[in-house]
Amino acid sequence: MTAFFQSLGLPYEWAWTVATVVAIVVVSLLVMFSVAMVIYVDRKVLGAIMLRRGPNVVGPFGLLQSFADGLKVFLQETIIPTAANKGIFLLAPIITFTVALAAWAVIPFWDGGVIADINVGLLYILAISSMGVYGVVMSGWASNSKYPFFSAMRASAQMISYEVSIGFVLVCVVLFAGTFNLSGIVEAQQGFGLGLINAYAIHPLLFPMWVVFFISALAETARAPFDLTEAESELVAGYQTEYSSMSFALFWLGEYANILLMCSLNTLLFWGGWLPPLDIPALYAVPGIVWFLVKTFIFFFMFSWIWATVPRYRYDQLMRLGWKVFLPMSLLFVAATSGYLMAIGHFA
């Protein structure tokens, strides 16, 4: 795209800037559109599992339900509690939303289809997702209300705990791939399994790590069964309690953008990203983005499925799982993976 703007007569620097801005706008709009659609999918899957119909009134099969909800929310009044700390109260949803979109900068949708193909892509994702906790903590504190504050405490403890084990899982993947670049990690998976299967997750050392990553992703995005931050039986609606209209919608959109991000990370790190599942030339006729979207959607379906079937964890169980099960396990696997790779001469 930079070349296109250069052909319009712009010098390289400015052509690059314009091309990047255009790419950012396009990716953000597409992510927002996907978020609207997966909210619909989420509600439909939930409805189907509970033997209900789910949204079916607005548009064909209820497909436009999310857009109708968006319009409704947009027209509502933003209520700011008098005791709230106004600036931070309004800043919190903006931070959640921005951070959720910013992480998509390093996600490769197909071979070369990425805004910023940087060397430290995976670390960038970790850095950005660790920023996500601020939106929650700031909203909980600024609301000046006890339930949002409890929720903010829970959220930050939960996110920090599970980020630790996610970090170690990522180390295992990076040891195999030899790079922090997400495109590089996907390319390293080509023909990984017996020269036939394009996925890291089939390796006996990496499959348990994928399971840990998947469950940690549920906890990191505060998705059921780890949705203790908005446990409605205890905390009304958690940190979102005092929010209304667009400020509430920004939380909602950011949350789903994060869920989609975690699904696509599952795809990229363990299931071959844009590569077809099997390393057969005929399968490469299908464009890479189709494989990427199909795999990501399968993971999103699993997220919805789990939401509908698994009861919520107790808080001490959540902490125990993070610190006493996943952390020692992922540490052990980091040691085992590096030992195994040294033994087979992977780094030679």
Partner 1 sequence: MIQAIAFYFFATIVVGAAVMTIMARNPVHSVLWLIMAFFNAAGLMVLVGAEFIAMLLVIVYVGAVAVLFLFVVMMLDIDFAAMRAGFSRNAPLGLLIAAVLLAELLLAVGAYNAGGLSLGTPDGSAMQAADKSNIEALGALLYGKYIALFEIAGIILLVAMIGAIVLTFQPPKPGARARQDVGKQIRRRPEEATVMKNPEVGQGVEL
**Applying CB under 8 A, which residues contact partner 1?**
13-14, 17, 85, 88, 118-120, 123-124, 126-128, 130-131, 133-134, 137-138, 141, 153, 156, 160, 163, 180, 316, 320
Query: Which residue number, 159 or 263, has a Cβ lying nearer to partner 1?
Result: 159
Query: Which residue number, 72 or 324, has a Cβ lying nearer to partner 1?
Result: 324
Q: Tell me the CA distances in angstroms from 316 to 227, 286, 295, one per residue in order.
A: 13, 46, 33
Query: Which residue number, 181 or 266, has a Cβ lying nearer to partner 1?
Result: 181
DSSP reduced 3-state for 126: helix
Task: Please report how close the Cβ of residue 133 comes to partner 1 at its closest, in angstroms.
Answer: 6
Task: Please report how close the Cβ of residue 16 comes to partner 1 at its closest, in angstroms.
Answer: 8
| DSSP secondary structure string for all residues of 36-67 | HHHHHHHHHHHHHHTTS--S-SSSGGGTTHHH
Q: How many CB atoms lie within 10 A of CB 303?
A: 22
Query: Which residue number, 47 or 167, has a Cβ lying nearer to partner 1?
Result: 167
Hey, CA dihedral for 275, 277, 278, 280, is it positive or negative? negative
In this structure, what token pair is assigned to residue 81? 């509690």
CA angle (315, 317, 319) in 5-degree steps: 75
Task: Please report how close the Cβ of residue 13 comes to partner 1 at its closest, in angstroms.
Answer: 5
Task: Please report how close the Cβ of residue 346 comes to partner 1 at its closest, in angstroms.
Answer: 16
Task: Please report how close the Cβ of residue 123 comes to partner 1 at its closest, in angstroms.
Answer: 4
Task: Please report how close the Cβ of residue 89 comes to partner 1 at its closest, in angstroms.
Answer: 12
Task: Please report how close the Cβ of residue 129 comes to partner 1 at its closest, in angstroms.
Answer: 8
Query: Which residue number, 30 or 160, has a Cβ lying nearer to partner 1?
Result: 160
Query: Which residue number, 58 or 131, has a Cβ lying nearer to partner 1?
Result: 131
In this structure, what token pair is assigned to residue 47? 């409805």
- Closest Cα to residue 194, out of 291, 292, 278? 278
The dihedrals phi and psi of 236, each to the nearest 5 degrees, come to: 60, -90
Query: Which residue number, 63 or 153, has a Cβ lying nearer to partner 1?
Result: 153
